[in-house]
Amino acid sequence: MSKKTSTSKGLRLLVTGAAAWTHSGYGKPWRYLLPRLHEAGHELAMAPFFGFRGAVLNFDINGAPVKFYPPCKDQFFNDIIGHHAADFEADVVITMQDVWTLKDWGQQDFRWCPNFPVDTEPVSAAILNAIDGCHTPLVNTRWAQQQLIENGWMNAHYMPYGVDCEIFSPGDKAEARKAVGLPPDVFIAGMVAANSSFPSRKSFPEVIVAWERWLAAGNDGMLYIHATITPKRNSGIQFEQLINTLHIPWSSLDDPDPERKARAKIMFPPQYRMWCGAIDDEELANIYRSMDVLLSPSQAEGFGIPIVEAQACGVPVVTQNITSMTELTFAGLCLEPAQPVWETEGGWRGVADVDRIVEALDWAAGLSDEERVDLALVAREASLDFDYDVEIERDWAPLLEELEAEQC
């Protein structure tokens, strides 16, 4: 972890997102950022919309003392955030979530810096309306920053999500597969994504259809899908139903039937542990190291943390040439979508092209050892720019120093 380099006296920061101990894309970043913000001299509180309820309590987040505030009637604190900010005497409120869930925060009596994804082209009216009156919008990619600048937000800050590059680092593939429980001698393509949207923003159906076609062409391998088999929330994919229509043998790592596991061409993680959030980042890093390629041809991404995590482990990726993914594909293929699709938020996304995914599987399976080494080096080197120690000094420190200077 980086040492404090600023002479700043520090700010009182109230942040929102998922609780820092969760594995959500809105929670995991805080698990790594809060200790670094504390080390930089800031006082911290958190109001999590997921993973915490019922009381005001103090927790230690990897060495950082953090005061936690619960939601009231509204999950996203629209009815109580002003009171929490006043109680903590917050200098700044920083949100990390979909901003269109927040109502009139720009008209509240505190400085609000929303950190949010832009995952449609162009940025939607829902987002632009939601951030009206905010102090400084914080976005995850250069592409999203440009989208806001084109809509008059000249002070939009680039504030990407990050990766702990000590945990997510290259390692021995054979040892990783043994630790995870995956076969040692087959081609493994993987996905790491939440099963929480329908139609599937993560392109699960398109990837599975492509996998079936790739197998039918005489190829062999395993598709590992790091997700829950049934929808994580109110919407998502019923994987069993989908896979059975294509007659692909599948299993999970906790399947008590060894013969079914041996036949499987699609593998899921232990479901009890997935639902309980029991798979930590150290284990997830081994899952990435087990892969020959990460498949992430999403319809859109606001950032795409697994894309960077996989590349930090030296694994090439397959993404789509839309929204954030273009600039985050350091080593791999960035596929053109089959066609645009209009999203209810009010913007365009891209449907994944099954034929192009099949071609990408051919590419990944056909890489030579030398090509894999070259790709791993490129992936790792580019990912280091997203290490939290780099981001805290390059991106966070200048913003917080500006905010503190305003108070003087």
Residue 8, pLDDT score: 55
User: What is the pLDDT at residue 233?
Assistant: 84
List the helix and strand counts (H, then E) for the chain: 16, 17
What is the Cα–Cα distance from 151 to 43, expressed in whole angstroms?
33
Residues in the chain where the model's pLDDT stays below 50: 2-7
Q: What is the pLDDT of residue 158?
A: 98
Three-state SS for 225? strand
- 180 burial via Cβ count (<10 Å: 0-12, 13-18, 19+): buried
Sign of the torsion angle spanned by Cα atoms 162, 120, 327, 280: positive
Domains with residue ranges and CATH for the chain: 12-161+387-407 (3.40.50.11930), 173-386 (3.40.50.2000)
pLDDT the model gives residue 9: 77
The rounded distance, in Å, linking the Cα atoms of 322 and 308 is: 16
Q: Supply the pTM of this predicted model.
A: 0.96
> Are 49 and 75 a contacting pair, CB within 8 Å?
yes
**Matching residue, tokens 């798979």:** 279
Residue indicated by tokens 């290490």? 387
Structure confidence at residue 6 (pLDDT): 43
Q: Is the Cα torsion angle 120, 122, 124, 128 positive or negative in sign?
A: positive
